[in-house]
Amino acid sequence: MTENKKLFDPVTQDDPNTYSKSPASMAPLYFVSGGSKVFGTFFSAAGEGLHPTILLLVGFPGNEVNFDIAHMLRRQGYNVFTFFPRGCWGSEGEYSWRNLVDDGATAIKFLQSDFMKEKFSVNAQNISLVGHSMGGFSALYNAIRFDEIKNVCGIAPFNAGMFGQVLASSDQIMQYSIQQMQPAMEFVKCSSAEFLLNEMVENQKEWNLLFQLEKLAKKNTLVISAKFDSIAPVEMHHLPLETKLKNINPAAEFVILETGHSFSDKRVQLMRLISDWFNKIEN
């Protein structure tokens, strides 16, 4: 961050600086993943030259887009790109957890392309991941797939593999989860909730973040969870990861806010934590 950027608070204030040659802007944008068009929005930071860029990953079914976080991070000097995975909210293709995480990987490669450098001033050497819920899982999982990704933040991240273990051990929990997912299934192109849950069962080892600690320990990591989360309860998705990861990477940060899964009544506090963390790791 430049000295000018430090003179205002991007969480609560607009940038007082003017950039007549290169003002902040936003644009619709798509990339192709698995032969399907995946639609999103690119937030361009103000100022000339290349900018560090954040890939902001949505959860299931994608109605919480976290644009407040995107605008805040852009005021802080970052480009931000967010998209809807295949099979939801207009993006082509079929919805699945595999497609969701693979779309995240494709988006990283897209941001690293010469096209994005030239057209949207993306610094391919400085890309960070932030994700909410299943997007949080995608952020943490994709961070370990790309050695060059150094910074990752999960907001109420789902540990898909651990939940797959639970589903495999209890038909009662499987049936309850199918029932709970039904309202959201109206917004994705997918055969059934059962199909999605069986994906977690089938990938319970690969997608269990507790089995990826060695690689995750090499990252700057922030995990923010919700005390009253009934979708990704902290007892399963936060506390085990905190205990094990901090044993090998004490610098990893874990925070639990007194709110629910969507952080609806803690948006400013959520942005403050993310903003301060990026300031710290970038300086």
Higher pLDDT, 3 or 250: 250
Q: What pLDDT sits at residue 6?
A: 56
Peptide bond into 61 cis (omega under 30): yes
Task: Kindly calculate the radius of gyration of the chain based on its CA atoms and give it in whole angstroms.
Answer: 18
Residue 77: count other Cβ atoms within 10 Å of its Cβ: 20
Mean pLDDT of 109-123: 98
Q: Is the pLDDT of residue 182 over 60?
A: yes
pLDDT tens digits along 134-177? 999 999 999 999 999 999 999 999 999 999 999 999 999 999 99
Mean pLDDT of 178-186: 96
Q: 25-33 and 36-44 as β-strands: parallel, antiparallel, unpaired?
A: antiparallel
Domain boundaries, the chain: 4-159+212-282
pLDDT above 70 covers what percent of the chain? 98
Quick one: pLDDT band at residue 126, thresholds 50, 70, 90? very high
Q: What is the pTM of this model?
A: 0.96
Q: Is the pLDDT of residue 123 over 60?
A: yes
pLDDT tens digits along 185-221? 999 999 999 999 999 999 999 999 999 999 999 999 9
Q: 51-57 and 220-226 as β-strands: parallel, antiparallel, unpaired?
A: unpaired
Q: What pLDDT sits at residue 282?
A: 84
Q: CB under 8 Å to 117, separation ≥6 — which residues?
A: 50, 123, 124
Q: What pLDDT sits at residue 17?
A: 87
pLDDT tens digits along 2-50? 444 557 999 999 999 889 899 999 999 999 999 999 999 999 999 999 9
Q: What pLDDT sits at residue 20?
A: 87
Q: How far is CA 21 from CA 18, 46, 47, 48, in A?
A: 9, 9, 8, 7
pLDDT tens digits along 89-105? 999 999 999 999 999 99
Q: ∠ at Cα 235 (233, 166), nearest 5°?
A: 80
Question: Which homologous superfamily is 4-159+212-282 in?
Answer: Alpha/Beta hydrolase fold, catalytic domain (3.40.50.1820)
User: In Å, how far from its chain's centre is CA 225?
Assistant: 13
Q: What pLDDT sits at residue 3?
A: 45
Q: What pLDDT sits at residue 1?
A: 46
Q: What pLDDT sits at residue 4?
A: 47
Mean pLDDT of the chain: 96
Q: What pLDDT sits at residue 270?
A: 98
